[in-house]
Amino acid sequence: MTTVVVCAGGPKEELCSFEPYIKRNDVIFIGADRGSLYLIEQGIKPHAIVGDFDSLSQEEYQYVMEHANDAQRFREEKNETDTDLALLKALTYDPSDIVLTGVTGGRLDHYEAAVRSIYRLQIEYPLLVLKIINHANMLQFLVPGTHTIQADDRYRYLSFFAHEQPIQGVTLRHVKYETTNEEISLGSSRFTSNEIIGTLGSISFTQGICLMIRSID
């Protein structure tokens, strides 16, 4: 069971906390472009760094190279974003989980590209857990089936949205607002700001793709 944490180069204040991952022995850290520098500044030596590194000065680039075990530099003119390249690198470690941070709070096109990449990979690898996490939110796509959701004081609020098509047969249990065999339609905000009651909640549905967002108060 390996978790890969991918740090991209968005605004530093939007990053998730690395503390829960630093303490573990089963975590791989990958830096994407300026995200490599962010990891090193946190005292983390990345297992790998990738990107065109156009956001780093020459001095920063040399500093990052000195602290990298595995570095791959690409041309600026390429089909993939630096984040995509880092996610592809993450897959080579055969992970059970991939956490992506450093993609929110800055350029909206970069954020949208990251969300689409996570969505594409979730469809391609349905057993892989992929999350986008920043300082206040966790975003995750869910495929049809039953999903257990553990309560977490860091993310009190729980919201569900239909992605690309309506979600059918939605049943929510052990949450403040339970439902049975309902639909989440496209454009609906009805399933926003729920809360888990106890230690575990759950969502099950039969069709569609669910975008789940967990947020702090």
**pLDDT score for 60:** 86
Residue 10 has pLDDT above 70, yes or no: yes
- The pair of structure tokens assigned to 168 is 């059918």
The overall pTM is greater than 0.85: yes
Q: Which residues of 86-112 are buried (b: 16+ CB within 10 A; e: fewer)?
A: bbebbeeeebebbbbbbbbbeeeebbe
Decide: helix, strand or coil at residue 111.
Answer: helix
Nearest to 193 by CA among 146, 155, 163: 155
Q: What is the mean pLDDT of residues 167-194?
A: 95
Task: Using pLDDT thresholds of 50, 70 and 90, give the confidence band for residue 55.
Answer: confident
**pLDDT score for 1:** 84
Nearest to 212 by CA among 193, 198, 199: 193
**pLDDT score for 66:** 83
